[in-house]
Amino acid sequence: MGTPLKQSWPPAQHDAAQDDLSRRLIVRAEGLDKTYRAYGVAVPALVGVSLRVERGEMLAIMGPSGCGKTTLLNCLAGLDTVDAGSVEIAGTNLASLRDAPRTDFRARTMGFIFQNFNLLPVLNAVENVELPLLVLGLSRGEARRRARAMLNAVGLDKRERHRPAELSGGQRQRVAIARALVNEPAIVWADEPTGNLDSEAAEEIMQLLAELNRTRGQTLVLVTHAQEIAARTNRIIRMRDGRIVQDTGAPPE
């Protein structure tokens, strides 16, 4: 009689739970270290940072100037590299991609919203929004159709022919939001998205982002120093000296 097979308990439940977690996670970052060096001086920017973000979350990364929050966002988005640790976005390890495939992956999987809008001044609103789709190879007709639909979704269908100089700060940021969402990204990164806006425009932009998160299930990660902006999210991460010191509302392991 042969040796009976050993069985772990409970195998099916454990595997199912791990598979479910993998499907839910958009961001899985483990043990991130990043040090900048200048004139022989080492300045730690990230120290042992681990972070998980589930699909549909809207979270804010907060902290004082120089705490590492923008560095963390750049490393998570693959705009900068880490010295140690790993970053997975939608199940793909960024370190496994060379420069060109990483750029393509970022274009297809991520959207970006910047404090300074980063709109091309010679293009009008609809042309700015459709540009990422044209880069990805969509036909001009399909890119224009989707760009107009996104401008309508952010309330700017009547401004599609206006250039950035003809729009208010809040309207420019709405165009930037439409551009970030037009490729239906898995995640959108927003670095101080209300930093150049007055309080009324900032409130309107946060209402729009919260609505897009709620109605579309869009995953959003914001970097901000403003408590009132962070309060509109459902999870707040606080950083100090390159470390996460508080994570309110983190998903269970």
For 209-236, how does the pLDDT look when each residue is reduced to its tens digit (9 = 90+)?
A: 999 999 999 999 999 988 999 999 999 9
Ranges under pLDDT 70 in the chain: 1-22, 250-253
Q: What is the pLDDT of residue 46?
A: 97
For residue 161, CA distances in Å to 39, 127, 143, 172 come to 49, 8, 15, 13
Q: Is omega for the bond preceding 44 within 30 degrees of 0, making it cis?
A: no
Q: What is the pLDDT of residue 39?
A: 87
Q: pLDDT tens digits for 76-117?
A: 999 999 999 999 999 999 999 999 999 999 999 999 999 999
Q: What is the pLDDT of residue 6?
A: 46
Lookup: tokens for 90: 């939608």
Q: What is the pLDDT of residue 249?
A: 76
Q: What is the pLDDT of residue 18?
A: 55
In CATH, what number does 56-81+92-248 get? 3.40.50.300
Cα-atom radius of gyration of the chain, to the nearest Å?
Answer: 20
What is the model's pTM? Answer: 0.87
Q: What is the pLDDT of residue 161?
A: 97
SS3 category, 8? coil
Q: What is the pLDDT of residue 78?
A: 94
Q: What is the pLDDT of residue 13?
A: 52
Q: What is the pLDDT of residue 73?
A: 96
Q: What is the pLDDT of residue 17?
A: 53
DSSP assigned state of 218? -
Q: What is the pLDDT of residue 54?
A: 96
For helices 125-135 and 140-153, angle between their N-to-C axes, nearest 10 degrees: 130
Q: What is the pLDDT of residue 8?
A: 44
Q: What is the pLDDT of residue 177?
A: 96
Q: What is the pLDDT of residue 20?
A: 63
